[in-house]
Amino acid sequence: MSSLLFKNARVFDGTNADCAEGMWLRAADGLIQEISATPLIAPEDTPIIDCAGGTLMPGLIDCHVHAFASDVAVAKIDAMGEAYRTAHAVRMLGHALSCGFTTVRDIGGGNHSLWRALADGLLQGPRYLYSGKILSMTGGHGDMRPIEERPRYESVCGCAGSPLANTFAVIADGVDACIRATREELRQGAHCIKIMGSGGVASPTDPIWMNQYREDEIRAIVNECAERRSYVSAHCHPASAVRRCVEFGVRSIEHGTLIDDDTARFVAERGAYIVPTMSIIFALVEQGRSLGFPPQSQAKVEQVFQQAITGLDAMHRAGVKVCFGTDLLGRTYTDQCREFTLRAQVFSPIEILRQATSMAAEMLMMQGQIGCIATGAQADLLLVDGDPLKDIGLLADDGRHLKAIVRAGELVKRPAA
Per-residue model confidence as pLDDT tens digits over 296-352 = 899 999 989 999 999 999 999 999 999 999 999 999 999 999 999 999 999 999 999
The CATH architecture assigned to 4-59+371-413 reads: Roll (2.30)
Residue 2, pLDDT score: 80
Residue 157, pLDDT score: 45
- Break the chain into its structural domains and give their ranges: 4-59+371-413, 60-336
Would strands 252-258 and 273-275 be described as parallel, antiparallel, or unpaired?
Answer: parallel
Residue 409, pLDDT score: 96
Average pLDDT of the chain to the nearest whole number: 95
How much of the chain is helix, strand and coil, in % rounded to 5? 35, 25, 40
Q: What is the mean pLDDT of residues 15-40?
A: 96
Q: Which CATH code, of 3.20.20.10, 3.40.1110.10, 3.30.70.20, 3.20.20.140, is assigned to 60-336?
A: 3.20.20.140
% of the chain surpassing 70 pLDDT:
97
Above 50 in pLDDT, residue 401?
A: yes
pLDDT tens string 70-91: 999 998 999 999 999 999 999 9
Residue 153, pLDDT score: 64
Rounded to whole angstroms, the Cα distance separating 391 from 38 reads 28
Of the candidates 356, 190, 383, 387, the one whose C-alpha atom is nearest the C-alpha of residue 278 is 356
Residue 96, pLDDT score: 98
Residue 163, pLDDT score: 56
Rounded to whole angstroms, the Cα distance separating 246 from 131 reads 18
> Among 44-58, 161-175, 399-413, where is mean pLDDT lowest?
161-175
**78 dihedral zone (left: phi>0; alpha: psi -120 to 50; beta):** alpha
Rounded to whole angstroms, the Cα distance separating 165 from 180 reads 14
Above 70 in pLDDT, residue 388?
A: yes
